[in-house]
Amino acid sequence: MKHVVARSLMAVAALLLAAPAAAQGTQVLWKLVDKQGRVTYSDQPPKDFDGVATRLEVPVEARSAPAPTLPAPAATVGGPKPPTPAASPGAELLRARAKLEDARKAYESGREPGTEDLVWVGRKGGGARPEISEAYAARVRKLEEAVKAAEGDVQRLEQASR
């Protein structure tokens, strides 16, 4: 019985909080940050949540964006392509540095093995020990190769710009 009363009070409180927002043309959202730092958003107030819950009022206009405009179709399918502006070496170097930074971030975030990356191998006398799976090793190799390739691109472009 106590749970029914508590839920009813929470529903009334949620309606009272949402009423001013609806009148002003805003929507109430909840930003939830759990203990591991993961962020989620909800349109309902959290129940039994251990992390930090922040109430946000978002203007209704902010929820929509104008439709993107598509480029005009080419006049002929097999005809000549319009000339593309040449990219400046400086812009290309900036893109290469951004790609290198992204590759390094991906490597750092993917380097730590998770529970799904371990395979438990039995011991002769009993028990088991964890070993890194082949899928994890392949993923880390791929991330390392991406960093090395991005570093090579940056070095090549830096030497060309000198």
Q: What is the pLDDT of residue 11?
A: 55
Q: Give percent of the chain with pLDDT exceeding 70.
A: 65
- Angstrom distance (rounded) from CA 108 to CA 140: 10
β-bridge mates for residue 129, sequence order: 121
Tens of pLDDT, residues 58-81: 776 655 566 667 666 655 555 555
From the list 116, 161, 157, the residue with the least C-alpha distance to 139 is 116
Helix (H, G, I), strand (E, B) or coil at 87: coil
Tell which wins on pLDDT, 102 or 35.
102
Mean pLDDT score, 141-149: 93
Mean pLDDT score, 145-151: 93
- Angstrom distance (rounded) from CA 34 to CA 23: 31
Question: Does pLDDT of 36 surpass 70?
Answer: yes
> What's the pTM?
0.42
